[in-house]
Amino acid sequence: MPRLTGRLVVASHNSGKVREIAALLAPLGVEAVSAASLGLPEPEETETTFAGNAALKAKAAADASGLPALADDSGLEVFALGGDPGVYSARWAGPTKDFAVAMERVQDELAARQAKDFSARFVCALALAEPGGAVDVFEGEARGRIVFPARGLQGFGYDPIFEPEGHTRTFGEMSHEEKLPLTHRARAFEKLLAALS
């Protein structure tokens, strides 16, 4: 298991994800650098699971940078849609990564199925890789429900249509500090920290 010290590559070009992961790493005194800032290419996500894609991205970043790397693969699973968009969450946003398009597609698909169940979950797989070494993966989830119309301009991705369990505001309506402890990413990170200790 790699140790979390010094510099670590956050294997993502998504500034929202990088910000959340950097905030989780900050109390450990780890300097998080993004794959984008190092000019590392984004590998094609060819796996069919969050864990598979996270491991693929972490390994590619660790091997390319010579530093330990932490990658996240995450997405929204809507139960009435059979778990879609799932691992294809980013692809539903199209080539321009326009999540207004993706959220509209979720609404259209739910309407087409005349869904009565709006329960959903965000899933996150965090993979920690050493250059040329092993990869460890940790998964977390945040359960809640889909709401329309979209509410809030905070966060990123599907946050404006996801209301976490026990709350009446969407992730999109919460400040970064309010949202972070409730996220699938924070839950996966807790498991990672438990394994390191």
Q: Which of 72, 73, 84, 136 is catalytic?
A: 73
> Torsion angle of alpha carbons 103, 159, 124, 29, nearest 10°?
150
CA pair distance 188, 191, nearest whole angstrom:
5
Amino acid at 169: R
Check if 73 is active-site. Answer: yes
Question: Can you read off the two tokens belonging to residue 186?
Answer: 């924070």
Nearest to 129 by CA among 189, 194, 55, 49: 55
CA pair distance 30, 32, nearest whole angstrom:
6
Strands (E) in the chain, as ranges, are: 7-10, 31-34, 69-78, 119-129, 135-146, 162-164
Which positions ≥6 away from 15 have C-beta within 8 Å? 34, 36, 156
> Which residues belong to the active site?
73
